[in-house]
Amino acid sequence: MTPAFGTDGVRGDTRGPLTAHLVGAVGEAAGRVLGADRFAVGRDTRVSGPILVAALLTGIRRAGGSAVDLGVAPTPAVARWCHDEQVAGAVVSASHNPWHDNGVKLFAPGGRKLSDEAQHEVERHLDGLLAGGGGAAAAGAGADLESGGPRRTPPGQDGGRMHDPSGHVVSAGGAAGDLARRRHIEDVAASLEGRDLSGLRVVVDAANGAAYRSAPECLRGLGADVEVIHAAPDGYNINDGCGSLHPESLQAAVVASGADAGLAFDGDADRVLAVDGRGALVDGDQILAVCAIDRAQRGRLAGDAVAVTVMANLGLRQAMAARGIGVVETPVGDRFVLGALEERGLVLGGEQSGHLIFRDLATTGDGLLTAVHLLDAVKRSGSSLRDLAAGAMTRLPQVLVGVPMPASTRPPDLNEALGAISSEAAARLGDSGRVLVRPSGTEPLVRVMVEAADLETAQAEADHLSSRIKEALS
């Protein structure tokens, strides 16, 4: 089964559907559609990355284009390079997914998200290439993926270097890659307009991913005292019990070291979550609230509003309303947040996952940029991150449930039924809570989200909703 082409590209398991052949076809389709004869290509630290980059480059060349290989580089560093050089781009990454997954994320010339039209056109060309047997893996580079994907082997005593499945050591990128990372670090630092982070002690969890060098280097360059964990990628340990989805070791490290804050990146470093000095998680909603309030106080919040997805906590909405900051709501997905920012002339938006977009400073989500501006707000406030986050918003208890939805039994009027069930729950909660019920776009599930003034109420309502949905699906 071929992975579906999503809002940015494709993603799947390299031991199954995501082959070098497919990635070569993606490169060829992108080369034909995006109207750029030059591309920049980066990747995260997965063992399958070099093979897939080779396949992608071959596909781009088959379409008549050329590309610079930036090696291991955070997604925002690739986007920044595309902006500076006015070229199209691609990042071989599966973000927060485990090592065996990978994918291709595409950027239009200038480092912008693909328009709906461009996305559909790339997908149309991709379908045509696959149907006709087109697309090609790089010569000599795709055999392992085509025959079942990379296999996990114990990492050697090699200082954390990566190996492809044939055992060859993989470099982390040449001069172009070093320049791309340096430009990104310098741009992030320059966005503080001369301020620094001296006096702050920070623990960085690099997720054994693309930020393992950039994040510590940037923060230290800004004067912070930095301790680093999970920064020895071996091709297999990316996001493995670490990073933004697994912050437990970071929370423990922050408490043990007496740090002011911790920062948990994901595999490609386009998002970040924080940890306060007592080890409590500070999620994307709280980071957004802190940054929005800080910007509003300094007259830097264009339109006096932020863009968030439907999953944003009700507490964020209440906090923004209390400070006269508007909230523009979008469907789930950073591309929708960015679209709202551009349409409304706003500069700040994001998701609960920690994927924030500072539209006046970057063309895409940037975990390092977000982290630096959060820490900058902490330092200027004279407060701890814990106090600053607590003062910015009160996070209402939120319960998330997935109700399995067999495709064979899906009722034709499911959306209407879900709407009625959701309305009943919303009426029961009133202004003190919020309900979101929607079929998943990626899994055979109906997703249920309930927020309420206390966890017991939220859990009880979620359980009731789940029962009602199961009845509707039967």
| Residue carrying the six token digits 């699906």 | 473
Neighbours of 306 (CB within 10 A): 29
Task: Judge whether 9-142 and 199-392 match in fold.
Answer: yes
The residues, any chain, with a CB within 8 Å of residue 197's CB and separated by 6 or more, are 219, 222, 223, 224, 372, 375, 376, 379
Domain boundaries, the chain: 9-142, 199-392, 398-473
User: Inter-axis angle of helices 367-381 and 385-392, to 10 degrees?
Assistant: 100
pLDDT of residue 445: 83
Spatial contact of 164 and 102, defined as CB atoms under 8 Å apart: no
Q: What is the pLDDT of residue 6?
A: 67
- Dig out the tokens for 255 from the structure: 């408490």
Per-residue DSSP letters for 107-170? EBTTTBPPPHHHHHHHHHHHHHHHHTT---PPTTTSHHHHTT-PPP----SSTT-EE-TT--EE
Low-confidence residues of the chain: pLDDT under 70: 1-2, 4, 6-8, 133-173, 407-410, 441-442
| Kind and range of the H or E run holding 470 | helix 455-473
Query: Does residue 351 sit in helix, strand or coil?
Result: coil
Cβ atoms of 274 and 200 within 8 Å: the answer is no
Q: What's the confidence (pLDDT) of residue 158?
A: 35
CATH architecture of the domain with range 9-142: 3-Layer(aba) Sandwich (3.40)
* Catalytic (active-site) positions: 95
Tokens of 62: 């088959």
Distant-in-sequence, close-in-space partners of 145: CB < 8 Å, separation ≥ 6: 14, 18, 19, 20, 48, 51, 52, 137
CATH class of 199-392: alpha beta
Query: Maximum CA pair distance of the chain?
Result: 62
- Residue 407, pLDDT score: 64
Residue 260, classed as helix, strand or coil, is coil
By the 8 A CB rule, do 125 and 60 touch?
A: no
Tell me how far CA of residue 282 lies from CA of 273, 278, 395, in angstroms: 6, 11, 10
Query: Following CA atoms 138, 100, 332, 42 in sequence, which dihedral angle do they give, to the nearest 10 degrees?
Result: -40
Range 398-473: architecture per CATH: 2-Layer Sandwich (3.30)
| Gap between the Cα atoms of 469 and 403, Å rounded | 8
